[in-house]
């Protein structure tokens, strides 16, 4: 990779990192290409980016946008996007699926450096659509119960 290509990559990465709400790094030793492609394809459907990065280039790009405190070592795969819960869920899913081959290292969520435990905890939370569904279910429960009661009353009247 030439110096110019590295410079262009750093510009692109720093722009994308600054716009993203969630950034997670994981070690992917032992994962095969098929598994990585499967992860990338799923990430595309959720508007997330997945890329294997050289540590020095990632560190320079992060430093340009004010992300500091992530010490990157060994081989890393970065996952980032607008929805930090989706980022955490994707990385945790593949970490669990390929136990020992992919290990969550650290992340940068909501302007703070986070550890593996925080990322796993966030991945367990329901997503926005799930929360909206739960809320709608709670809101419509009284109306459902009322309609069910009226239907039962109608059946009793017809039986009598």
> pLDDT tens digit string along 22-60?
899 988 887 888 888 999 999 999 889 998 888 888 888
State whether 73 and 131 are in the same domain: no
Beta-bridge partners for 27: 103
Ramachandran class of 156: left when φ > 0, alpha when ψ lies in -120 to 50, beta otherwise: alpha
Q: How many domains does the chain have?
A: 2
**pLDDT over 80 at 71, yes or no:** no
Q: Alpha-carbon distance 91 to 40, whole Å? A: 11
Same domain, 107 and 130: no
- pLDDT mean over 56-68: 85
Q: Nearest Cα to 51, choosing from 9, 11, 3, 21? A: 9
Tell me, yes or no, whether 118 and 145 share the same domain: no
pLDDT above 80 (res 70): no
The verdict on 39 and 115 lying in the same domain is yes
Report how far apart, in Å, the C-alpha atoms of 149 and of each of 99, 120, 128, 136, 160 are: 50, 43, 32, 20, 17
Same domain, 95 and 115: yes
Average pLDDT, the chain: 87
Tens digits of residue pLDDT in 98-140:
877 888 888 888 888 888 888 888 888 888 888 899 888 888 8
Could you tell me the CATH number of the domain that includes residue 53? 3.30.70.1730
**Residue 115 and residue 135 in one domain:** no
Cα distance between residue 96 and residue 30, in whole Å? 14
Same domain, residue pair 114 and 148: no
Q: Which residue range(s) make up the domain with 139?
A: 126-160
Pair 134, 119 in one domain: no
- The answer on 151 and 74 residing in a single domain is no
Q: Are residues 36 and 53 in the same domain?
A: yes
Same domain for 66 and 102?
yes
Same domain, 25 and 87: yes
Residue 89 has pLDDT above 80, yes or no: yes
């Amino acid at each position: 990779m030439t110096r110019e290509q590295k410079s262009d990559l750093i510009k692109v990465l720093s722009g994308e990192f600054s716009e993203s709400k969630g950034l997670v790094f994981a070690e992917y030793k032992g994962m095969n290409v098929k598994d990585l492609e499967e992860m990338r394809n799923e990430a595309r459907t959720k508007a997330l980016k997945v890329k294997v990065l050289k540590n020095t280039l990632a560190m320079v790009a992060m430093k340009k946008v004010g992300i500091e405190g992530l010490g990157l070592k060994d081989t890393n795969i970065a996952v980032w996007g607008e929805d930090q819960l989706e980022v955490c869920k994707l990385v945790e899913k593949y970490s669990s699926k390929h136990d020992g081959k992919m290990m969550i290292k650290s992340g940068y969520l909501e302007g703070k450096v986070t550890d593996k435990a925080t990322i796993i905890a966030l991945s367990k939370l329901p997503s926005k659509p799930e929360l909206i569904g739960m809320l709608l279910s709670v809101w419509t429960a009284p109306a459902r119960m009322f309609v069910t009661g009226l239907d039962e009353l109608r059946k009793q009247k017809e039986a009598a």
